[in-house]
Each structure stands twice: as structure tokens, then as C-alpha cells.
Amino acid sequence: MTEGYLIVNCTMKNLTQVELLIKSIRWFDKHRPISIITHEDNLKKYLLYIDEEIYLKPNKILTATYFHSLLASPYTKTIAFNPDQILTNFNIDVWENLRGMNSIVMPKTKSNFNGDLLDYSLYTHGSIEQKSFGEGSIIDAIFFNKDKGCDYVFGMAALISYYYNQNQFIDFFADKENNVMPPFPKYLWPEWVMSLMYKILELKITKFDFINLIDLSVRENNYTNNKWSSMTWPEFLSYWVNEQGDIKIENYVQLGLVKYNTSAWLTDSTLINLRKKFI
């Protein structure tokens, strides 16, 4: 019965981001192992604190690859992360809560750099999920427990993603479309699939804020502040990393899992201070 962290979609391109995420996880949790899912051979030699490197041949269907990556976790209980993130605050005691929960736990909310809660409707994908399922899904950090059958959920999600074809799905469900089936998009993305899974397998999936997720990615539908819809955050927000390694945006300290989305802010000076803290 093992517990550990998994970082998916690791490549040479995002090696710096993966390195920062690994080191920041290690800063908060000294004991649980960390594994990475790579799509290129032998990234491990560049990285410290890696327990296992799992090579997964990339599939042309990226959404299916994501679920295959989760299925490949070497741990019974896993928290999986996407790589474009850094952990600046995490209470490892939350593992205790997660053990008693469902087979899959997703965060319920995400917030802006200033603590304001973000709505799914601010994002193109999120708004589609919201229209189709009433609410979207957040999978920037996701907990899953193999002892409780998460493999079945991810297996089903991988199959749907792999064999998905908009026209076939619409045809197949045509006679059932009495306001209960979602409109099917042209292609699927992992959050959409997880929203579908949540809708049909609610008993297997829980939404619970086991981590404070700060999302800085572009919000295509933000009509009140169009900077968010047209630029990446380092272009219009003031940010810095002080010598203690604290990340500040508009003088708000960032505490949680910071999804920064773009590596534009990872300049030499910020990296020096971040590495100083996490090594």
C-alpha cells in the first residue's frame, strides 16, 4: 500500500518546470516518492529526487495519453500533477483525509492570484463543461486510489477519449437526446471527460479542495478585464520572487499549487531564488 506523487507529461521542453515542481513537492513532503511519466527517454538523469521514471509512448490522442499516464502510476494512492505548476504551500496531513475518500478526488475550486474564486465560465473549455454538465472539472491536481477502483474510471475515460468521434457519438445517442445527454464537442479534453465521468459515476468521484489551487492561465471569456483574455499574466501583472523564494504577484503572496501556465516568468533571477529555496 504505497502513496506517492506523479507528474505527467514530462518532456525535455518542460524539464525546468518539472524540476521546480519536483523540488517544491519534496520541500513539503520529505518521504513520499515522486515519479514522472515521460514521453522521451531518460529524463531521470537530469532530475533529483525521482523515484521512478515511467516511459509512455505518446499517443496521437493526447486526452487518452493523459488517462493512460494516470493508470501507469506505480502507487496505490497517488496525487498527480500537470508539470506547469509549482507548489508553494501544501499540508501533507491531507493524505489522511484522502485515504478515507472516494476512488478519485478532484479539487472543487480554484482561485485567482488575489484569492478571488474563479468561475468555469471564464474559460472556453470550462464554459462548455459548465453548459454540458452544470459544472466543470479541475484536474491540475488529482488524487486517485487503486484500492477503490479508480482504474475502472480512468480505463473508461481512456477508451472514450481514444475512440471518440463526434459524429458517431451524436448518431449513437441521437434517440436518447432528451435533455440529459451533453452536446458533444469536436474533440475531447481531459476535464470534459472527467466532467462526464463525474456526472455518470458520481459515487466514485469526490470534489474536495485538498490543495489550494491558484490558476493564472489565460481566461478567454473574461470580458470584464480583457487583459486576462488576450495576454499571459506576466505581461500585465507585477511579480517577483524574493530571496526567501516567496512568489509575489501584485504583492499578493502565492500559497498553494500555482498553475502558471507560461514559463515566461521563469527568468534567471526568479529561478535563482526559487532554486535557493527548494534545494
Partner 1 sequence: MSKFDSGILLIAYNNGKIDYEKLALIAARCVKLYMTNNHVTLLTDQPTFEALKKELPTSLAAETFDHVIIDNVTHERNTRTHRDSPWNEFTTQFNNKNKHSIFNKSPYEKTLMIDVDYLIGNDTLDAIFDTDSEVAMYKQAISVRNYQPRIWEQKLHPDGIDMWWSTAVYWRSDSELAKLFFGVWEHVKENYNYYKWLYKFPGVLFRTDYAVSIAVHILNGHRQGNLIHELPGKVMLFSEQIDDIADFKKINDMLLICPDPKELWKNIASRIKNENVHVMNKMAILRHYPKIKEMIYD
Under the rule (CB under 8 A), what is the footprint of partner 1? 114-116, 225, 227, 236-238, 248, 250-253, 255
Q: Report how far residue 98's alpha carbon sits from residue 261's, in angstroms, rounded to the nearest whole number.
A: 26
Across the beta sheet with 252-253, the strand order is: 239-241, 247-249, 252-253
Q: How far is CA 240 from the centre of its chain?
A: 24
| Min separation Cβ 130 and partner 1, Å | 24
CB 67 within 8 A of CB 38: no
CA atoms within 13 A on the CB side of 89: 11
| Min separation Cβ 255 and partner 1, Å | 7
| Min separation Cβ 259 and partner 1, Å | 17
**131 SS3 class:** helix
| Min separation Cβ 257 and partner 1, Å | 15
Closer Cβ to partner 1, 181 or 255, answer by number: 255
First to last CA, the chain: 29
| Min separation Cβ 115 and partner 1, Å | 4
Q: Which of 64, 10, 72, 68 is nearest to 189 (CA)?
A: 64
Closer Cβ to partner 1, 187 or 236, answer by number: 236
Closer Cβ to partner 1, 117 or 203, answer by number: 117
Closer Cβ to partner 1, 99 or 248, answer by number: 248
Closer Cβ to partner 1, 135 or 246, answer by number: 246
